[in-house]
Amino acid sequence: MIEQTLSIIKPDAVERNLDNKIKSFFEKNNLKILKSKKVKISKEEASEFYKVHQTKPFYNDLCNYLSSGPIIVMVLEGENAVLNNRKLMGATDPKKAEEGTLRKMYGLSIDKNSVHGSDSVENGKKEIDFFFK
Ligand code: IDP
Ligand code: MG
Protein backbone atom coordinates (compact mmCIF):
# COMPACT_ATOMS: atom_id res chain seq x y z
CA MET A 1 0.00 0.00 0.00
CA ILE A 2 1.21 3.46 -0.87
CA GLU A 3 1.26 5.43 2.38
CA GLN A 4 2.41 8.77 3.67
CA THR A 5 4.29 9.39 6.88
CA LEU A 6 5.75 12.38 8.69
CA SER A 7 9.49 12.58 9.16
CA ILE A 8 11.34 15.15 11.24
CA ILE A 9 15.05 15.88 11.12
CA LYS A 10 15.61 16.87 14.75
CA PRO A 11 17.73 19.80 15.97
CA ASP A 12 20.90 17.75 16.55
CA ALA A 13 20.96 16.62 12.92
CA VAL A 14 19.97 19.99 11.43
CA GLU A 15 22.75 21.56 13.48
CA ARG A 16 25.28 19.14 11.99
CA ASN A 17 23.98 19.81 8.44
CA LEU A 18 22.92 16.20 7.97
CA ASP A 19 19.70 17.13 6.13
CA ASN A 20 20.92 16.41 2.60
CA LYS A 21 22.42 13.08 3.62
CA ILE A 22 19.21 12.05 5.39
CA LYS A 23 17.03 13.17 2.48
CA SER A 24 19.06 11.22 -0.10
CA PHE A 25 18.96 8.19 2.18
CA PHE A 26 15.15 8.33 2.12
CA GLU A 27 15.06 8.77 -1.65
CA LYS A 28 17.47 5.86 -2.22
CA ASN A 29 15.17 3.72 -0.07
CA ASN A 30 11.87 4.28 -1.90
CA LEU A 31 10.58 7.21 0.11
CA LYS A 32 9.69 10.19 -2.01
CA ILE A 33 9.86 13.58 -0.28
CA LEU A 34 6.55 15.23 -1.17
CA LYS A 35 6.92 18.25 1.10
CA SER A 36 9.73 19.66 3.17
CA LYS A 37 10.16 22.79 5.23
CA LYS A 38 12.48 24.08 7.89
CA VAL A 39 10.71 25.46 10.96
CA LYS A 40 11.40 26.33 14.55
CA ILE A 41 8.54 25.45 16.87
CA SER A 42 7.68 26.79 20.30
CA LYS A 43 7.71 24.70 23.45
CA GLU A 44 3.89 24.84 23.42
CA GLU A 45 3.78 23.43 19.88
CA ALA A 46 6.26 20.70 20.79
CA SER A 47 4.13 19.82 23.82
CA GLU A 48 1.08 19.51 21.58
CA PHE A 49 2.96 17.41 19.02
CA TYR A 50 4.32 14.99 21.66
CA LYS A 51 1.11 14.95 23.74
CA VAL A 52 0.94 11.12 23.66
CA HIS A 53 4.06 11.15 25.82
CA GLN A 54 2.74 13.63 28.40
CA THR A 55 2.84 11.13 31.27
CA LYS A 56 6.41 10.01 30.55
CA PRO A 57 9.25 11.17 32.79
CA PHE A 58 11.16 12.49 29.76
CA TYR A 59 8.23 14.57 28.37
CA ASN A 60 9.44 17.98 29.53
CA ASP A 61 13.00 17.43 28.26
CA LEU A 62 11.65 16.07 24.99
CA CYS A 63 9.52 19.17 24.38
CA ASN A 64 12.38 21.50 25.33
CA TYR A 65 14.61 19.62 22.95
CA LEU A 66 12.31 19.62 19.89
CA SER A 67 11.82 23.36 20.31
CA SER A 68 15.50 24.11 20.92
CA GLY A 69 16.47 24.78 17.32
CA PRO A 70 15.39 24.49 13.69
CA ILE A 71 13.91 21.19 12.51
CA ILE A 72 13.02 19.96 9.04
CA VAL A 73 9.58 18.42 8.69
CA MET A 74 8.81 16.26 5.67
CA VAL A 75 5.97 14.27 4.17
CA LEU A 76 7.37 10.99 2.85
CA GLU A 77 5.43 8.77 0.47
CA GLY A 78 5.99 5.24 -0.74
CA GLU A 79 5.08 1.57 -0.45
CA ASN A 80 4.59 0.82 3.30
CA ALA A 81 6.05 4.25 4.05
CA VAL A 82 5.32 4.13 7.79
CA LEU A 83 7.10 0.83 8.44
CA ASN A 84 9.80 1.49 5.84
CA ASN A 85 10.67 4.79 7.52
CA ARG A 86 10.68 3.17 10.99
CA LYS A 87 13.09 0.51 9.70
CA LEU A 88 15.34 3.10 8.09
CA MET A 89 15.37 5.10 11.35
CA GLY A 90 16.26 2.17 13.60
CA ALA A 91 15.62 1.76 17.33
CA THR A 92 14.81 4.81 19.48
CA ASP A 93 18.11 4.42 21.35
CA PRO A 94 20.99 4.79 18.84
CA LYS A 95 23.03 2.35 20.96
CA LYS A 96 20.45 -0.33 20.16
CA ALA A 97 19.86 0.64 16.52
CA GLU A 98 20.90 -1.74 13.77
CA GLU A 99 23.87 -1.05 11.50
CA GLY A 100 22.95 0.99 8.46
CA THR A 101 20.02 2.78 10.14
CA LEU A 102 19.85 6.57 10.45
CA ARG A 103 19.94 6.54 14.23
CA LYS A 104 22.94 4.18 14.26
CA MET A 105 24.74 6.39 11.73
CA TYR A 106 23.86 9.81 13.15
CA GLY A 107 22.11 9.53 16.54
CA LEU A 108 24.01 10.91 19.53
CA SER A 109 21.84 9.60 22.37
CA ILE A 110 18.29 8.43 23.12
CA ASP A 111 17.08 12.03 23.23
CA LYS A 112 19.28 13.42 20.44
CA ASN A 113 18.42 10.62 18.05
CA SER A 114 18.33 12.73 14.87
CA VAL A 115 14.98 11.73 13.37
CA HIS A 116 11.30 11.29 14.14
CA GLY A 117 8.90 9.08 12.20
CA SER A 118 5.18 8.46 12.59
CA ASP A 119 4.31 5.09 14.15
CA SER A 120 1.09 4.37 12.22
CA VAL A 121 -0.77 5.57 9.13
CA GLU A 122 -3.40 7.16 11.37
CA ASN A 123 -0.88 9.07 13.49
CA GLY A 124 0.99 9.97 10.31
CA LYS A 125 -2.12 11.75 9.01
CA LYS A 126 -2.48 13.67 12.26
CA GLU A 127 1.20 14.60 12.31
CA ILE A 128 1.16 15.70 8.65
CA ASP A 129 -1.87 17.91 9.39
CA PHE A 130 -0.11 19.32 12.43
CA PHE A 131 2.70 20.74 10.30
CA PHE A 132 1.17 21.19 6.86
CA LYS A 133 -2.47 22.12 7.32
P1 IDP B 1 10.36 6.92 18.61
O2 IDP B 1 10.89 8.30 18.31
O3 IDP B 1 11.35 5.85 18.25
O4 IDP B 1 8.99 6.70 18.05
P5 IDP B 1 9.06 7.22 21.20
O6 IDP B 1 8.94 6.14 22.20
O7 IDP B 1 7.84 7.61 20.44
O8 IDP B 1 10.26 6.81 20.20
O9 IDP B 1 9.64 8.49 21.95
C10 IDP B 1 9.65 9.76 21.35
C11 IDP B 1 10.99 10.40 21.58
O12 IDP B 1 11.18 10.59 22.96
C13 IDP B 1 12.19 9.54 21.14
O14 IDP B 1 12.53 9.69 19.79
C15 IDP B 1 13.28 10.06 22.04
O16 IDP B 1 13.87 11.24 21.50
C17 IDP B 1 12.55 10.42 23.31
N18 IDP B 1 12.65 9.34 24.28
C19 IDP B 1 12.05 8.13 24.25
N20 IDP B 1 12.36 7.37 25.31
C21 IDP B 1 13.21 8.13 26.04
C22 IDP B 1 13.90 7.91 27.29
O23 IDP B 1 13.79 6.84 27.92
N24 IDP B 1 14.68 8.94 27.73
C25 IDP B 1 14.82 10.11 27.05
N26 IDP B 1 14.19 10.36 25.88
C27 IDP B 1 13.40 9.38 25.39
MG1 MG C 1 7.15 7.60 18.50
- Is residue 51 domain-resident? no
Residues 6+ apart with CB under 8 A from 125: 4
**pLDDT mean for each 10 residues of the chain (133 residues):** 98 98 98 98 98 98 98 99 98 98 98 98 98 97
Classify the phi-psi angles of 16: left when phi > 0, otherwise alpha if psi is within -120 to 50, otherwise beta: alpha
Measure the CA–CA gap between 48 and 38, rounded to whole angstroms: 18
Closest ligand 1 atom to 89 CA: 3
Domain of 75 in residue numbering reads as 2-37+70-131
- Is residue 61 domain-resident? no
What per-residue confidence (pLDDT) applies to 56? 98
Residue with CA closest to ligand 1 atom 9:
92
CATH number of the domain within which 119 lies: 3.30.70.141
- Split into its structural domains, the chain has a count of 1
Which listed residue (78, 116, 127, 128) is catalytic?
A: 116
53: annotated active-site residue: no
- Is residue 81 domain-resident? yes
Distance 50 CA to ligand 1 centre (A): 10
Q: CA distances (Å), 65 to each of 31, 46, 62, 80, in order?
A: 26, 9, 5, 29
On whether the pTM is more than 0.95, the answer is: yes
